[in-house]
Amino acid sequence: NPTIGVLALQGDVREHLAALETVGARGVTVRRPAELAAVDGLVLPGGESTTIDKLLRIFELRDLLQARIKEGLPVYGSCAGMILLADRILDGTADQQTVGGMDVVVRRNAFGRQVDSFETDLDFAGISDVDDPSAGSGRRGGPVRTAFIRAPWIEEAGSEVEVLSRIPAVDTQGRPVAAAGRIVAARQGSLLATAFHPEITGDARVHGLFVSMVAGG
């Protein structure tokens, strides 16, 4: 069984460990270089990307993480974690760096004030279109329940990036949505990123997808 680390410098670490457990993976916290060196996959949780960026450097994890990503380590970044995986960001702080690896431009806090935080159901390629009750806990199709908390979005994606989910054009009442069409989940090789938090809505299918990536899928 592969071991999946959750970067535990800041952010919602416990929720990711619980979601990984739900899909039958072994999750461990990662704070030290030796721990990072030992995992088969890594989750970068939501939190505050500027803080996690600083702590990655203070804890001497940043260079090792970049090296492991280049070697193909599967990494899943949620929200602040998606910001960290982006090669380029908009609306970052002056000294903010990312780890990079995904050929995307990510805008921080992109959803604006009055919709700082919200929950919604989203179509997600490879998840909402999959109905496979024979798989493990019984993967059912249907949209993924997501939570956006001062979330970023992907503003531009390079040709190697597979778009997995976008904000729909209209909401469930048929009203037009301001952020219509914005990319909120994507994959590039062994890197997976979501603007939202699937770990707090009780829908573990995104974690299931990541575990299958770690297992070689």
**Catalytic residue numbers, as ranges:** 79, 197, 199
Across-strand partners of 156? 105
Q: How far is the CB of 134 from ligand GLN (least distance, A)?
A: 34
Q: How far is the CB of 12 from ligand GLN (least distance, A)?
A: 8
Binding segment for ligand GLN (CB under 6 A), chosen from 2-10, 46-54, 66-74, 174-182, is 46-54
CA dist 38 and 3 (Å) reads: 8
List the one residue from 3, 29, 66, 109 that touches ligand GLN (CB under 6 A): 109
CA dist 93 and 90 (Å) reads: 9
Structure tokens at 73: 């380590």
- Does residue 79 belong to the site contacting ligand GLN (CB under 6 A)? yes
Q: How far is the CB of 48 from ligand GLN (least distance, A)?
A: 5
Dihedral sign of CA atoms 200, 205, 208, 213 in order: negative
Pick from 39, 12, 15, 35: which is nearest to 26 by CA?
Answer: 39
Provide the binding-site residues for ligand GLN, judged by CB under 6 A.
46-49, 79-80, 83, 108-109, 149-150
